[in-house]
Structure formats: structure tokens, C-alpha cells
Structure 1
Amino acid sequence: MRTAQKQKYADDKLVKRLHRKTGQAIGDFNMISAGDRIMVCLSGGKDSYAMLDILLALQQRAPVDFELVAVNLDQKQPGFPEQVLPTYLAGRGVPFEVIEQDTYSVVRRVIREGKTTCGLCSRLRRGALYRYAGEHGFTKIALGHHRDDIIETLFLNLFNGGRIKAMPPKLLSDDGRHVVIRPLAYCSEEDLRRYAELRDFPLIPCDLCGSQPNLQRQVIKEMLTEWKRRHPGRVENIFRAIGHVSPSQLADHELFDFRGLGAVGEQPSVAGEDWLRPPATQQRPDPDTTISVTSGAVSAPRTRGVIHGS
């Protein structure tokens, strides 16, 4: 009995923590406004299920009214259980739509055997979701990326792309037409895994990419897992650093005006790109100028036809 009480207490704390962190992220980044029609992208994985479940709970007590519609993209993977999500959503009374687009065949045709499929798959999936959102009047697109996804993306870009770049909790698409939000940005993957078990979501694994042995993201995930074990708090500090950037302490001259930086009263240099110019052709010395090699001194020019004497 005592063990059951302790477990219930831990479960209640987990639920409250995830609800609080999600609400905090929504507030910090102004993710949801009054009258929003939000497309909740539901893949069948633990994270998107948790996002929908938490948003539905927050919707009941939110300070503004907004609409939630669950949208699943059926990518025509062989053996995909088509009725799992509709059955679950209908049972919850959640409005939903299923988009059918055979991206699976495209990925299999384009990507050679042994190569990772995630890049192309995600681009095709994003294009389909963006197009659907635009056609059906959605004002926000909610994705289920969590804190660990954001940190992993930071290291993927750092190690493989030479860029300090992660996933922002709120993003404007390149064409300026869509606002993408990540309400789970402050939530850890471990908490979401426990939440999925607690809520007993009917999970659907991704057979297209989930089992690939050569995923760089999996390598990063293993590195972070080891850090969590050996250095408690390190991963939390990394995520905290993503939100506390000091541009003047980095080296991106497009992000910070290093060129115009100077001490008080100092006139900024106007040379600019002149430093990149090739050196000028060396000029021959004036024959009327005597150069002292040993002392480095330059004597005054000699004037022909004039005798200096006493």
C-alpha cells in the first residue's frame, strides 16, 4: 500500500512538472494567442502523443481560447497500422485529419541502401504539413520536439556542420507563412517516456528510420546519456546556455559589430575590406635617398649640384 502511494505521488509530480514546463515555454515564447487554430502534428510516437495530451489539459484552463486539431501524415510505410490513431483520437473526442502522401517510396527510391533517410524524409514531411496548414487556415504548427532533441541538434550542427545552431522553441518558416511552435521545449525525454507509460499511449514505431544503425543523432544521444550518468546537471547547463548567448564573446562578425568596436573616444577604422587586398607592388627606392641598413634611419635627400661646406 505504501509503495502504491509513493508511486502515485511520483506520478502526480511528473504530470504537474510536465504541465508546468509546457505552460512556461508557451508563455516565455508567446507560442499561443487568442483565436489560434493549432495544427498538432501527431506521428504516433511518445512525444507527439504527450504534446497533444498536455495541450488538451492546458486548453481547459488557459487564459485565452484556442483550437486544437490533430493531424497525422500517413507516409504509406508498409505495415503502418492505419486505424490506431483515428481510433484513439475519436475516443478522446479530438478533431483530427489524416493526410495521405507516399513519401516512403520517394525516400526508398532516392536514398541509397545504407544511407540515412531522415534528412529527405523530414523535408518531404515538412513540405506536406506546411502545405496542408496553409490550405486549411491553421495559424500555428505544433511539433513534439523536446529539450533533448534541441540539445542533440545543437551538437549535430556543431560537429558536422560547423555551426552553432539548434531548434528554436518558436520558428517562422523561410517563406514567412507559417509559425512553428515546440511546446515541449523545456521537457526532458526521460519525463516524456515515463509520461507515455503512465498514460498508456498506443505507440506506433517508425520502421523507416528508427532502426538505422548509422544515425549520427543516435551517436550524440549516447554521448549525452553518458554525460548525464557521469556529470549530473551538465545537460541542463547546456540547454540553459542555448538561452543565454553572449554574441560579443563569440566570433560572428555578422551577429556582433566587432568592426565598429573601440575604446571610448577612439575613432573606428574605415579600412574595412582593405585588409584583404593583395600587397601593392614594391617600389624601387629613390636614388636620392640614403638608407642606413644598420640603424634603420633614413637620411635627408641629397640635392645634386650643391656643395655643403664651411
Structure 2
Amino acid sequence: MIESITERKQQLEFNKLQKRLRRNVGKAIDDYRMIEDGDKVMVCLSGGKDSYTMLDILLSLQKSAPIHFDIVAVNMDQKQPGFPEHILPEYLSTLGIEYHIVEKDTYSVVKEIIPEGKTTCGLCSRLRRGTLYGFAETIGANKIALGHHRDDIIETLFLNMFYGGKLKAMPPKLLSDDQKHVLIRPLAYCKESDIERFSEAKGFPIIPCNLCGSQENLQRQNIKNMLAQWEREQPGRSENIFAAVCNVAPSQLGDRELFDFVTLQDKQDKGHLFTRLDVVQID
């Protein structure tokens, strides 16, 4: 009896979690027109909790959406030693959807260029991104879905401020530099903690990224720790930071390219400043 009550409670909590994720993903898609009728969406899978959750929620929304769009799951096998290449094909086969495994040995390139102990994530992601862009054209996908969530966006904001001197984050929707690909981030409104709980409940076969052995020392991890501490001290702070990313006031910053400060003038009547004073002549 106790087990039954516990199971029902757990099921109710999971249902709430799933509905929240569906609602947040649906709102992000609607707010930024991420997916439209007739789109072919290439969902990039890394084997991590975020991309698994993104695919699961998109497949769920696809069934009830008032529009038609196709989903193609794509994973890139970067030929890391020991990579369990059977896991994703086996999982995707159970879903009954179109999927592709793109094989490209970027691991060797990264290890050859980046000195031992240095951060590999930047080069690794650039090489992966270029390959996936090309593959999207091959299969005729006009949208590329990435699994970045709200916390990723906030962390990127601080990374760019602290280490790049830029007020810049990750937009929910982006046109690539070559203007050939529209990138979307359906999880933009979703908290990482929700995604983690959902992933655990679903039992996704997670494949850890072990290319870089010093992940804990990366700048992003330091930012993540800082934000976690802020959230403990003042719950809701991360939500406010994300709201600020979506509510920018260019005139209250200092970018001369974004706002015309040079010709800025007030609209007061300045006639009194130029009134000619009468000169009193003394005979």
C-alpha cells in the first residue's frame, strides 16, 4: 500500500515536470517562431541529458501540434576512443524515427592541435558544428535544433562578459554566419534542474563526454558554480537574469553602434539661451 502511494506520488510529480517542460518548449517555439508548417528539423543528439530531453519533448509536441513538421535525429560519432557507438542507434531504433550517425574523426584533430591539459571544448564544438551544418544540407533540413537550455544561455552571458568583454549570450533562434542555416534552441526556457530530473526519470542511456579530462576546471564550470551559489543565496536570481537577456534597453547601455548617442539631443525650447540682451548706452 505504501509503495502504491509512493508510486502514484512519483507519477504525479513526473507528470507535472513533463507538462512544465512541454509548456516551456512550446512557448519558446511560439515566441520565436522556431518551427513552422512544413519544416524539416534536424535534432542534434550528443547522447547527453539535454539533447535526449529535447528530442523526447519535440516528438511529443509533434503529435499534438496544429502544424506538420518532420524530425530527423542526427548524432556525430567523433571517433573518441572507447565511444559506445552502439548506444544511440539502439535507442533511436526503438523510437521508430529517421536517424543518422555521421562519422567524422574530429577527435584526432583536436588532440593534435590542443596541448595536453588545455580546454578542447571550443575547437571540438566548431568542428562538430561545421560537419553538422553540411549534413543538414545533405538531408534537406531547414532547421537545426540544439539542446542548449536556459542555464547554458545565462552561463554564456557571464562567460562573454568576464572573459570576452562582450554583452552577448545564446539567442533562442539564430541565423548562421553563412546565412544558410537557422539554428533553434527549443529548451531556451527550460531549467537544467528540470531537464536533469526528467532525464533520470526517463532513464535515457547517457553517453558522457570524456574528451576533456579537466572539465571541472573549465571557465564555464566556474561560472556554473557562481550562479548556483547566487541561486542558493537568493532563489529566483537566475530567472531574473534570463528575463534581462530578453528585455534589453539599448539606450541604457553604451554601445554606439546599437544606439545613436552622438546626435542625441533634448527637446527643450532653448530660445531663452539665444535672446539678445538689450544694451544700455550711457551718454
**TM-score, normalised on structure 2?**
0.92
Higher Rg = 1
Cα separation, 1, equivalents of 2:143 and 2:169: 20
Q: Residue 232 of structure 1 corresponds to which residue in structure 2?
A: 235
Q: Specify the SS of the correspondent of 1:89.
A: helix
Alignment of 1:150 with 2:156, yes or no, is no
Q: Residue 79 of structure 2 corresponds to which residue in structure 1?
A: 76
Among 111, 115, 118, the alignment partner of 1:112 is: 115
The one-letter code of the counterpart of 1:44 is G
**TM-score, normalised on structure 1?**
0.84
1:107-162 deviations in Å (ceiling 9; x for gaps):
00000011100110010000000111122211000000000000000000000000
User: Are residues 210 and 129 of structure 1, via their aligned partners in 2, closer, same or farther at CA, if it must alter by over 3 Å?
Assistant: farther
Q: Residue 199 of structure 1 corresponds to which residue in structure 2?
A: 202
Among 42, 45, 64, the alignment partner of 2:48 is: 45
Question: For the aligned residues, what is the CA RMSD?
Answer: 1.2
Which runs of no fewer than 5 residues in structure 1 stay unpaired? 268-310
Q: Residue 16 of structure 2 corresponds to which residue in structure 1?
A: 13
Q: Residue 56 of structure 1 corresponds to which residue in structure 2?
A: 59
Q: Residue 136 of structure 1 corresponds to which residue in structure 2?
A: 139
User: Are residues 86 and 265 of structure 1, via their aligned partners in 2, closer, same or farther at CA, if it must alter by over 3 Å?
Assistant: same
Q: Residue 189 of structure 2 corresponds to which residue in structure 1?
A: 186
- Tell me how far 1:10 sits from its aligned partner: 1.1
Alignment of 1:99 with 2:106, yes or no, is no
% same residue: 64
Q: Specify the SS of the correspondent of 2:67.
A: coil
The one-letter code of the counterpart of 1:246 is A
More helix by share: 2
Q: How many residues align?
A: 267
- Tell me how far 1:62 sits from its aligned partner: 0.7
Q: Residue 34 of structure 2 corresponds to which residue in structure 1?
A: 31
Cα separation, 2, equivalents of 1:202 and 1:195: 13
Structure with more relative contact order (C-alpha pairs < 8 Å, separation 6 or more): 2
Q: Residue 272 of structure 1 corresponds to which residue in structure 2?
A: none
CA contact (8 A) 2:117 2:214 kept: no
Which runs of no fewer than 5 residues in structure 2 stay unpaired? 271-283
User: Are residues 81 and 266 of structure 1, via their aligned partners in 2, closer, same or farther at CA, if it must alter by over 3 Å?
Assistant: farther
Cα separation, 2, equivalents of 1:64 and 1:198: 29
